[in-house]
Structure 1
Amino acid sequence: MIGILIPAHNEEELIEQCIRAALRAACHERLGGETVLVLVVLDSCTDRSSEIVDSYPVHSLAIEARNVGQARAAGARFLLDQGVRWISCSDADSRVAKDWLVAQLDLGADAVCGTVTVDQWTAAFDESAQIRYHQRYQARDGHRHIHGANLGISADAYRRAGGFAPLASDEDVQMVRQLERCGANIAWSQRPQVLTSARLDSRARGGFGDFLREMAQLG
């Protein structure tokens, strides 16, 4: 069994597209009918996120932490308790490709760090800001970007690494560092594809949204 882990905090505008994409990936023919459990961790949601999630054939877990590290950790525990062999992490403002799970598993690694592609540039990003972004971002195999929106970890490697730390940001970076210290085989690949939003009001400080904000404000 495979688990898809999606933390969410007040994501009523984007969560539906995220779930639909995850469900498409879960039905990929090359998975050979293996069960895929999609879990949305609703962290301190006060909008319609819970109602939207409940309308789809996915699992949900409600917590009151307002902390993405705690949300991912709680979700991972839930999935491991169900017996998953692999945890694929994404974000509620992102849409995974149909072959996302297959692409992660095909790499044969203990963990996979994938890249992200901005879905649609907002008015905050003029041409010069987009040029700066593409100069800085390495959309290629062998990159060194770490995104919670595109991260896969085997259950065994996750346990060896000690799980997600209860951090308000950079919980994904800390996880990868722990995996490296454990000697895990990590694939840095652009093959697993994820579209993500270009919003600047990111839910967690220090993540991709702050990187985009820096690109927009330079110059």
Structure 2
Amino acid sequence: MPVLNEEKLILETLQALAAQLRPDFTLVVVDNGSTDASQAIVAEFAALNPGMDIRLISEPEKGTGAAADTGMRFGALNGARWLARTDADCLPAPDWTLRIMDAFDDGLEMIAGQLNPRLDEGLSRGQRWLMLGAVEVASFFGRIRPGNKGEGYLGPYQMLPGCNMAITADLYLRSGGFPRTSIEELHEDRALSNRVRKLTRAYALRRNVVVFGSSRRVKAWGLPNTLAWYADHRYRPEHVDIR
């Protein structure tokens, strides 16, 4: 779980992970240069929940790609067979880790989960449905996008939410993992999906692997601009780290 100045939301994320029906996992929190109370909140939560295996490490190189890669490699190089990622503004469903392991048991090597809007950010039902529809449209256009086509791909493009995905440690290392980029440079989740597609067909969307993500970018930028941001940064705001 990469973290940058998430003191407003990270405690709820930690609580959601503590409530997992399958709790046999190590949580690696990668602080990416926070200047707020994020690290202190994680440390206090770990002290109050000694039954959870929580590791707090740092990555000074700014970027969601760099921070996510540091965390994934920490797991892979310390004996983990399976890796999963969420973000510090998200709420994994209680059966998130359980459903991920079911998918691995079915033979998948990489899993894309279902990303739903959080229910506690003041969105109406209609707005949430509109956001869900936008995700489906983005997934469709990802499959026909020229940048996701070419020689060497073994299967179709799969949109991979960075805050709701899982991959075997072996495949992560073989693929090269997330590119160590900043969010302004490259969407690291799309890059990883395309790297994996050249190595295996054992990847898929599992809609029962659910994470509720923050809609703060949509609220700050509007839905059209947010979609343009994720479509190769066609919208480039002055500030991308919305908190």
Deviation, structure 1 residue 159: 1.4
1:65 is matched with which residue?
Answer: 61
Tell me the percent identity: 24
The structure that has the greater radius of gyration is: 2
Deviation, structure 1 residue 127: 7.7
Residue in structure 1 matching 2:206, options 175, 185, 189 = 189
Q: Within 5 Å, which residues of 2 pair with 1:173-188?
A: 173-188=190-205
CA distance in 2, matches of 1:115, 1:86: 19
Letter in 2 for 1:42: D
Would you say 1:199 and 2:198 are equivalent positions? no
Q: Within 5 Å, which residues of 2 pair with 1:1-219?
A: 6-25=1-20, 28=22, 35-57=24-46, 58-107=54-103, 108=106, 109-120=108-119, 130=128, 132-138=130-136, 144-169=158-183, 170-200=187-217, 210-211=226-227
Q: Is the 8 A contact 1:89 1:150 kept in 2?
A: yes
Q: Secondary structure at the match of 2:40?
A: helix
Number of residue equivalences = 196
Q: Secondary structure at the match of 1:98?
A: coil
Letter in 1 for 2:38: S
Letter in 2 for 1:193: V
Q: CA RMSD in A?
A: 3.0
Deviation, structure 1 residue 122: 5.0
Letter in 1 for 2:4: H
CA distance in 2, matches of 1:128, 1:149: 23
Q: TM-score, normalised by structure 1?
A: 0.79
CA distance in 1, matches of 2:35, 2:218: 17
Unaligned runs of 5+ in 1: 1-5, 203-208, 215-219
CA distance in 2, matches of 1:134, 1:183: 28
Q: Is the 8 A contact 2:85 2:162 kept in 1?
A: yes
CA distance in 2, matches of 1:153, 1:127: 32
CA distance in 2, matches of 1:106, 1:136: 28
Q: Is the 8 A contact 2:115 2:164 kept in 1?
A: yes
Q: Secondary structure at the match of 1:91?
A: coil
CA distance in 2, matches of 1:23, 1:92: 13
Q: How big is each residue's C-alpha offset from its partner over 1:13-55, in whole Å with a ceiling of 9 and x where there is no partner?
A: 1111111111222x52xx7xxx411011000100000000101
Q: How big is each residue's C-alpha offset from its partner over 1:123-150, in whole Å with a ceiling of 9 and x where there is no partner?
A: 6x6787555434333399x994321110
Closer, same or farther: CA 143–21 of 1 in aligned 2, 3 Å: farther
Q: TM-score, normalised by structure 2?
A: 0.71
1:3 is matched with which residue?
Answer: none
